[in-house]
Amino acid sequence: MFGQEGFGLRLEWGGEGVTALGGLCAVLVVVDVLSFTTSVDVVVGRGSEVRPVRWLDRESADPTWSLRPSSLTGVPPGQVLDLPSPNGATLCTLADSTGAAVLAGCLRNAGAVARVALEIADGRPIGLIPAGERWGIDINTTKSEQFFGPLRPCVEDFMGAGAILAALLEQGAGGASVEAQVAADAFRSMAPRLEEVVAESVSGRELIGAGHAGDVEMATLVDVSEAAPRLVDGVLRG
C-alpha cells in the first residue's frame, strides 16, 4: 500500500495512522481537541502533568479529575493527573510504543508544539495524528464492555492538526504531503470563524447540548499557550 514516504510532514488518522507513521516519523503529534489534548495543555500550562490512561483501563484511574478543560483551570502545580479518554489518551499510549517522540497538540498550543516538534525531529519526518472519534462510544457510560466502532473523522481534530501544520510550515518546515498540506490550508481558510465552525460540528453540538459550551470556547482559542506536552516515562509534561 502506498504511503506518505518522502515527505517531511505527514498526516494520518487515529490508531491506524499511528501504526502507519510510527516507524517512519521521529515525532508523532496526537491531536484530540475535544477534549483530551486541550485538557493536557491546560494542566501542563499550570505546572502539572498528565498520565494518559487507555479507555479500556479507565476504571483503574483516579476519578478525582474530569476530562473537561474548564474543570482543570484550578489544578495546583506539581500534580500528576490520570486522564482516560477513548481517543487522545489511548492514542498517546499507542504512539509511545512506536519509539517516536510523542507530543500532545491542540489549537491552544499549535505554535509551541510546532517549535518543539521541529527541534526534536532535527530534519526527520513529523507525523500529525488527528484522533477523530469512534462510532458507538458513549463517554457518559461506565460499561467497560461498550462497543468501539470504526473511526469517525471530525472537524475539530482536522483543524487542530491543520493549525500545527500551518505553524510548522511558517517556521520553516518543508515537504508537506498532500494530506498534511490540505489540513494546513483548511485551517487557514476556517481560522476567521474557527469557533463557529467547531461549535457547529457534531462534536461541538454534542458538548454544547450537554451544557459544556465553555469547554468548546476554551478549545477553539489559538496560540494562547506555550505548553508543548511531551510523553516521557508514561507521563505528559512540559
- Residue with the larger pLDDT of the pair 136 and 129: 129
**Averaged pLDDT, 209-228:** 98
Architecture of domain 9-129+150-237: Alpha-Beta Complex (3.90)
pLDDT exceeds cutoff 70 at 143: no
pLDDT digits (tens, 9 = 90+) for 61-81: 777 889 999 999 999 999 999
List pLDDT tens digits, range 181-206.
999 999 999 999 999 999 999 999 99
Nearest Cα to Cα of residue 139 among 90, 79, 94: 90
User: Over 90: is that where the pLDDT of 58 sits?
Assistant: no
Has residue 147 got a pLDDT over 80? Answer: no
Distance CA 173, CA 212 (A): 36
Task: Give the domain ranges of the chain.
Answer: 9-129+150-237
Buried b (16+ CB within 10 A) or exposed e, 118-153: bebbeeebbbbbbbbbbeebebeeeeeeeeeeebee
pLDDT at position 136 over 80: no
Please report the pLDDT score of residue 170 as a whole number: 98
